[in-house]
Structure 1
Amino acid sequence: MSAHPAPPATRPEAPRASSLVQRWARDLRMGAKFAFTGGREGWTRVLLTAVGVGLGVALLLLTTALPTALSVRHERDQARSDYTYSQKIKPKADNTLVISDINTTFGDKDIRGRLVEPEGPRAPLAPGLSSYPAPGDMVVSPALKKLLDSDDGRLLRGRLPYRVTGTISESGLIGSQELAYYAGAEGLAPHINGWQTARISEYGSPHRTPERQDPVLILLVLVVFVVLLMPVAVFITAAVRFGGDRRDRRLAALRLVGSDSRMTRRIAAGEALAGALLGLVFGAVFFLLGREAAGSVEIVGISVFPSYLNPSPALAALVAVAVPAAAVLVTLLALRGVVIEPLGVVRTAKPTRRRLWWRLLLPVAGLAMLAPMMGKGRGDGDFNQYLVSGGVILLLIGVTALLPWIVEAVVARLGRGSVSWQLAVRRLQLNSGTAARTVNGISVAVAGAIALQMLFAGIEGDYTKVSKNDLDRAQIQVQLSHGVATDPALAKFRQTPGVRKAVALANARVGSTTAASPDGPKQSSEVTIGDCAALREVAALSSCRDGDVFAVQGAKYDTDTPALAKPGKKLYMDTSQGMEAPHEVRWTVPRGLKKVRAITDPTGMEHGGFLLTRGALPAAAGQPSAQVYVSIDASVHDVHEYVRNTAADVDRFADVMVWTASQQSEKFTSIRTGLLVGATCVLALIGASLLVSQLEQLRERRKLLSALVAFGTRRRTLSLSVLWQTAVPIALGLLLSLAVGLTLGAVLLKMTATALSIDWPSVLTMTGMGAGIALAVAVLSLPPLLRMMRPEGLRTE
């Protein structure tokens, strides 16, 4: 007889694994069925969970869509770029376009403006346009058209004297609320200067070497994303536990009909899974509604079109898988400490005391991950993004782990007080976990916000440049283009409402030889032109009258003036600018030359060379480009708009700059703006989550509240007890947030090699915002609380 081979040892395990999967699937399916067929009680819990999870999912989807939206904005901006970054003027052809940058500002909004003059039938067409407007006409963005048609746009209409003939389509704009226009013009070619007016044959940025990424800014972006997403994740885990007490009492009935404890837990996980899956649907709906609404709002100067907000498929799939999985996992972990017996739930007995040691491991591990990068700053290369993300996540998760222990430890020692205080304390002593879960999201958000504010405040000086402009002498600078008559322009500025003083300084250069000579000017010097009042802004003049010429002494880096400032010497004066062809005239140094001492002008610079009053300027020199320095009365409403309108009236190419005490890096400012936008959304979510959680807790205690009222308890006492139940955990959570936020902020500052300092106003502001949200939620929950305290709430079926 032949021997049969022994079966593999692993074969008996296969049925076990298969049956385990089948049991899990059956029990999860049964739990989902109970969730949707459990009557009004079951439906209410599922809807609460679904709404809570849906809000979190919507924000997660929005977050996953943000990188795509920012990328699309950048691509649209690059596609319409008209800067050449070239020192050569392109020759005129049938495929060229002359375009001028005439951006302006209205209030606090920037307006992108372009003058266009096609030079042939094949001139490149700007994105978003079907054709260029004729001279005197303009096409505008929908937002600008709305502004011009409104009463608020009255002053702006005077600055844009063009007839609106069309609108720019979405492909030519970076946001739905962007203010932009293209205006048709003539005679632009003579103004080509390389920085404002150029001749192009195509749109789009030329290839340039990518800039080196700043590791500190990358660190900022990483921390911002982690801080904004952590409260959302915390809230979703709390939302799947809504109605947990009532659910556990319902599960006791299952034990009575024969299910074991494991089966009961799997059924409970199935209920949570059903709520999470419905929450995914709600989240998709909320996201789509928010996506459409995003096209009509602007947050901190940022707007998008709905089509921009398309989540990455991979990240959206991750959210769709992670949220239901988290719901099952959180439910199973929550039921570990609950004994569900056939005759009830053992939860009212004093629970085992929470252990502290493992809760402290989370923040310690987070600090350990961040420690290797301390002191690197900018000098030692990039920060490890995985260590940064992991360390910050563990520190913030530490808040959620420590808060239940702190709440339990504190409320256990609370006692004496008013009746409302004792009712609140006793409730917290019986079930402090629910109270801690309610405020976990806001605690994490505040801790992260405090850390970020410390980091922003600490490194702000590295990305902020203090202006040298003297704001006591002028507040607005207007650059006029070549050929604009200065005296009539000054007269109009001085007649502008709110203008106290206006002076103009024009610039030219003189050389010992012409610029066309083989070696160029062997010696050259600066020439500053203005009336006597303007020249006194750059030099100490004892006397001055029209026709005088001065030679400046003592100016830094001015070495050629002493050799050139010889009466009777023949020089060549060039009044051209930028890429213009030299416009040179012969000029003889006059015999009555006066020597003066240089002082700094309103921009903080010293002018060397020669100072010429207008009467001393050769007639053939024309009108050099001038800078007008305007001093204003800030108390006059819309004074900036009046000055901008005057500038546009005297010179369509005028560039108006409103001076500020400091200027900030655009990248740093954009990251801070992104934080404000994200924080606004997260705070709105936190407020909604707290309100939903508060209403869910009140619903569970409806019969208890009605019974207390029926026995004569005053509504005022019960209302105060509910407020105390909210206030105590919130106060403890904010104190913990303060400690963790300051610790994380100090670590981040050490990582960036920045001196440790605490921006207390910002820290207290963040803490106050958290307390304000909690107070608002408590006030909003009072009306439903009063309705639940009616004796009719004792009725049951």
Structure 2
Amino acid sequence: MSARRWAGDLAMGVRFALTGGREGWTRALLTAVGVGLGVALLLLTTALPNALTVRHQREAARTDITFGVTELPRGADTLVVAEAGTDFRDESVRGRELDPEGLRAPLPPGVDAFPGTGEMVVSPALKELLGSDEGRLLRERLPDRIVGTIGEPGLIGSHELAFYAGADGLASRIDGGRVVRIDAFGDPHPSPEEMDPVLLLLVLVVFVVLLMPVAVFVATAVRFGGERRDRRLAALRLVGSDSRMTRRIAAGEALAGAVLGLGFGAGFFLIGRQLAGHAEVYRVSVFPSYLDPSPLLVLLVGVAVPAAAVLVTMVALRGVIIEPLGVVRTAKPARRRLWWRLLLPLLGLAMLYPMVGQGRDDGDFNQYLVVGGVILLLVGVTALLPWAVERFVARLGAGGVSWQLAVRRLQLSSGTAARMVNGIAVAVAGAIALQMLFAGVDGDYTRDTGYDVMRAQMQVSLPDGVPVAPAAAEFESTKGVEGVFAYSETTVGDTRADPEESTSVNVGDCADLREIARLDSCRDGDVFVVRGAEYDTGTAGLSVPGRKLYLDPSYEGGPRSGEVPWTVPDVLVDARPRTGPTGIEAGGFLLTPKALADGALPALRGQIYLRLDRSVPDGQELVRNTAAAVDPLASTLNWSSTERSERFTAVRTGLLVGAAGVLALIGASLLVSQLEQLRERRKLLSALVAFGTRRRTLGLSVLWQTAVPIALGLLLASAVGLTLGAVLLRMTGAPIRIDWPSVLSMTGIGAAVVLVVTLLSLPPLLRLMRPDGLRTE
């Protein structure tokens, strides 16, 4: 068959779709909308890698506080930056104080001019929050005067809360940690980040699971209106076309709808791209400019979707006999074969099997085998579901009128019913597998912080040189604080700089010191020594009476702000180690306030631990306001017993964001499919109503026609999802454990989507159930 003949037949099909009157346009429009929804999500998905890359680049471009960087001398091009971020309820607020030291001091990205002392420039989202009643408590700890807005280059998302505040005299507070001097923004020593093999596996599976339902729906959308189309094609046989030519013409009609769908998809994508700039999903937001898909991926989508439309139509019509006098579809179809449908998931398992037990110690997983295996397993759902629906409905029998109408319809067109729920079944299967995988490896990315949350729930770290006793008194009078204990800490070494031996020093009154050591007796002026504490190696050599040591010794490249001489007293009281609230045994020297050397205050860093009354609303915010009043550079930390890896959390958040988009698409696509099915059966419904069938009966029949396939689809999806999840867990070396709450929740979400779609289709159904629907022009 020549290419010219193929092109001519496809062109004829395109003309039928575009010039076939109201019927042709309706079918083409439904196909275009369905394909367009899929294309839009495909484009959004292909834009995600670029969005994540841009977010990373923006974050790297504004990097200012880094550790291990040699201190710079003051110059005309230097800027002192201090960490001044805070938290507000569950949101993180990125904050910096800026003190330019010359006319050529570097400006942060997105900022046009330095704010003065008492002024700040803020992100649009923070400005909106501060202007609302909800931001009242946050306003109390930030400068009052807003003089500008941070531009898009200085933010990683449209909903990010960030500010830059002006300050003066920060140079005297440089500590190499929270206050540093820089001459340019950006990480001076970026290091390539290596992805953990298990995290890479998670990312691969997430992308496959999110894209597969989209691909399934696009393949379904190009078959909208199949029954009416086949009856029109029978007329072509009457005028002399053969079966192959007829299938090519049908493919041309699908091609027209797919090409129109590309246009609709581009429009939906542009609309979604703009809406994305105003949305925040699971605390992740982007600017519209971030969602810029790769031209190569766009070209791939533009070629793959029309090609898939032609291929799916040609394959679908191989099982349909189109004769000049009708379509042999109403006869009982041949029973579907099971053997080749089982081959797909078995081949998928065979591709994944070589990586079972590999874990993260044997290098990266083979990306091609992972992608191919997961795709085959999920495609197996779409292959097995029509067979399962056919076998199940063939055994259904007596029941009410609505039940019998639904069963007979399913028996005549079980393939159509299965196609409608294929997308949701694939999505549920993939989601179950991923939830099992995430639950199985969660422990590898979650660590015990060691914090004793029964003794304290918040910690406040004071900058160097801030007296701890007055600050502790402020927190004691703060509403919502039940208990306070505080002490100052530093290190002591055998030399002023780069000591060979060092240990810790804690300064506090007797009650506070008893929180970190076991003291038999204590009075102000005592000096205690704790030997044998966990991780302590220097105390034994330094605790020699009369030996001269130095508090807060400096290290190469770091600031020289301490180096306070201190002589070990002749009388040292032995104390026993005790696990402190941070989960670590404090070793070294414990000093009561009177034993502190003169001039040692600048070498001390205060730590305050707070026990909160959880019944007080916004108690944490009140503590943060007190901390800001004590010193703007004081930092607060909420304690939790466990901490999860940021990368693992980012991957899981990406899954939730993508799943939300896929579920929205599936809901919309199912609604379009349902409306298309109702349009196909308009005359049948009108005839039933004309003969006296109650509308309630017809409505229930439609519900049954949806409920039976979706129930079978969800059962099959659960089985495949559990199998895939178990294999993925074995690949990572994690024990197989079924997360039943996640399985049930994913299945319930899938069922809820179908129920909502069915309810939304009832109003159009009621309009179609009119006797005048039998009228024909």
Q: Does 1:574 align with 2:551?
A: yes
For the structure 1 residues 367 and 528, does the alpha-carbon distance in structure 2 shift closer, same or farther, using more than 3 Å as the test?
same
Whether 1:92 and 2:69 are equivalent positions in the alignment is no
- The counterpart of 2:333, out of the listed 331, 351, 355, is 351
Write out aligned runs for 1:144-223 (5 A): 144-223=126-205
Which stretch of structure 1 is more off in the superposition, 631-640 or 21-30?
Answer: 21-30
Query: Which letter does structure 2 place at the counterpart of 1:46?
Result: A
Query: Over aligned residues, Cα RMSD in angstroms?
Result: 1.8
Instruction: Please tell me the residue identity of whatever aligns with 1:392.
Output: V
Percent sequence identity is: 68
Look up the match of 2:761.
Answer: 781
How has the CA–CA distance of structure 1 residues 174 and 411 changed in structure 2, closer, same or farther, with 3 Å as cutoff?
same
Which residue in 2 is equivalent to 1:528?
506
The answer on 1:231 being equivalent to 2:213 is: yes
Structure 2 partner of 1:613: 592
Superposed, which structure 2 residues align to 1:542-691 within 5 Å?
Answer: 542-558=520-536, 561=539, 565=543, 569-575=546-552, 579-581=558-560, 583-587=562-566, 589=568, 593-622=572-601, 624-691=604-671
Q: Secondary structure at the match of 1:267?
A: helix
1:728-767 equivalent positions in 2, closer than 5 A:
728-767=708-747
Deviation at 1:561, TM superposition (A): 4.1
Q: How many pairs does the alignment contain?
A: 774
| Unaligned stretches of 5+ residues in structure 2 | none
Q: Which amino acid aligns with 2:89?
A: G
Distance 1:277 1:529, change over 3 A: same
What letter corresponds to residue 632 of structure 2 in structure 1?
A: R
> Is the Cα–Cα contact under 8 Å of residues 363 and 398 in structure 1 kept in the other structure?
yes
Give the distance between the partners of 1:159 and 1:34, measured in 2 at CA. 68
Residue aligning to 2:114: 132
| Contact residue 377 and residue 751 of structure 1 kept, 8 A | yes
SS of 1:159's equivalent?
coil
2:535 & 2:11 partners in 1: Cα distance? Answer: 84
Cα distance change, pair 615–149 in 1 and its aligned pair in 2 (3 A):
same
Matches of 2:519 and 2:230, distance apart in 1: 90
Alpha-carbon offset, residue 792 of structure 1: 2.3
Deviates more, 1:344-353 or 1:245-254: 245-254
Q: Does 1:538 align with 2:532?
A: no
* 2:267 matched residue in structure 1: 285
- Retained in 2: the 8 A contact 1:515–1:582? no
Aligned mate of 2:392, from 396, 410, 430? 410
Structure 2 matches for 1:27-426, cutoff 5 A? 27-426=9-408
Give the 3 Å change call, closer, same or farther, for CA 523–743 of structure 1 in structure 2. Answer: closer
Amino acid at match of 1:31: G
Question: For 1:212, what is the secondary structure of its paired residue?
Answer: coil
Q: Contact 2:710/2:751 (CA < 8 Å) preserved in 1? A: yes
Give the superposition deviation at 1:619: 3.6
Task: Please tell me the residue identity of whatever aligns with 2:20.
Answer: G
Question: Structure 2 CA distance, aligned partners of 1:550 and 1:176?
Answer: 53
**1:269 Cα deviation after fit:** 1.0
1:482–1:576 Cα contact (<8 Å) kept: no
> Residue 313 of structure 1: CA displacement?
0.6
Contact 1:144–1:179 under 8 Å retained in 2: yes
Rate the CA distance shift 1:564–1:339 in 2: closer, same or farther, 3 A.
closer
Give SS of 1:656's match: strand
Say if 1:176 and 1:303, in contact at 8 Å, map to a contact too.
Answer: yes
Which segments of 5 or more consecutive residues in structure 1 lack a partner in the other structure? 1-16
The 3 A distance-change label for structure 1 pair 214 and 565 is closer
Preserved contact between residue 162 and residue 183 of structure 1 (Cα < 8 Å): no
Q: Is the 8 A contact 2:381 2:720 kept in 1?
A: yes
Deviation at 1:509, TM superposition (A): 3.5
How far residue 632 of structure 1 moved from its aligned partner, in angstroms, is 0.7
Change (3 A) 1:521 1:785: closer
Show the counterpart of 2:696.
Answer: 716
SS at match of 2:485: strand
Separation in structure 1 between the aligned mates of residue 535 and residue 619 of structure 2, nearest angstrom: 38
By how many angstroms is 1:531 displaced? 2.0
Secondary structure of the corresponding residue to residue 166 of structure 1: strand
Which of the residues 725, 742, 756 maps onto 2:705? 725
Distance in 1, Cα, partners of 2:599 & 2:18: 90
Q: Which amino acid aligns with 1:249?
A: R
CA distance in 1: counterparts of 2:758 and 2:419, whole angstroms: 16
Q: CA deviation at 1:570?
A: 5.0
Partner SS for 2:464? coil
Q: Give the TM-score, by structure 1 length.
A: 0.94
1:515 match:
496
Of 129-138 and 522-531, more deviation after overlay is shown by: 522-531
Q: Which amino acid aligns with 1:515?
A: R
* Cα distance in 2 for residues equivalent to 1:435 and 1:93: 74
CA contact (8 A) 2:71 2:559 kept: no
The answer to whether the Cα contact below 8 Å between 2:77 and 2:101 also exists between their aligned partners in 1 is yes
What's the CA shift for 1:545?
A: 3.6
CA 1:755–1:559 in 2, change beyond 3 Å: closer, same or farther? Answer: closer
Give me the whole-angstrom Cα distance separating, in 2, the residues matched to 1:510 and 1:403: 71
CA deviations 1:522-580 (Å, max 9, x no partner) are 7654221112221121122344343333333542354554565566x354351468834
CA contact (8 A) 1:510 1:527 kept: yes
Distance 1:356 1:60 in 2: 31
* Structure 1 residue 260 displacement after superposition: 2.1
CA distance in 2, matches of 1:677, 1:255: 49
Q: TM-score, normalised by structure 2?
A: 0.97
Q: Distance in 2 between matches of 1:75 and 1:525?
A: 40
Cα deviation for residue 773 of structure 1 reads: 0.8
Give the letter aligned to residue 24 of structure 2: G
1:254 offset after TM fit, Å? 1.8
CA contact (8 A) 1:738 1:767 kept: yes
Residues 56-88 of structure 1: CA distance to partner in whole angstroms, max 9, x if unpaired? Answer: 000000111111111111111111111344342
Match of 1:6 in 2: none
Q: Within the alignment, does 1:794 sit opposite 2:768 as a pair? A: no
Alpha-carbon distance between aligned partners in 2 of 1:248 and 1:493, rounded to the nearest angstrom: 78
Equivalent in the alignment of 1:441: 423
**Corresponding letter in the other structure for 1:757:** R
Given residue 597 of structure 1, which amino acid in structure 2 is its aligned partner? R
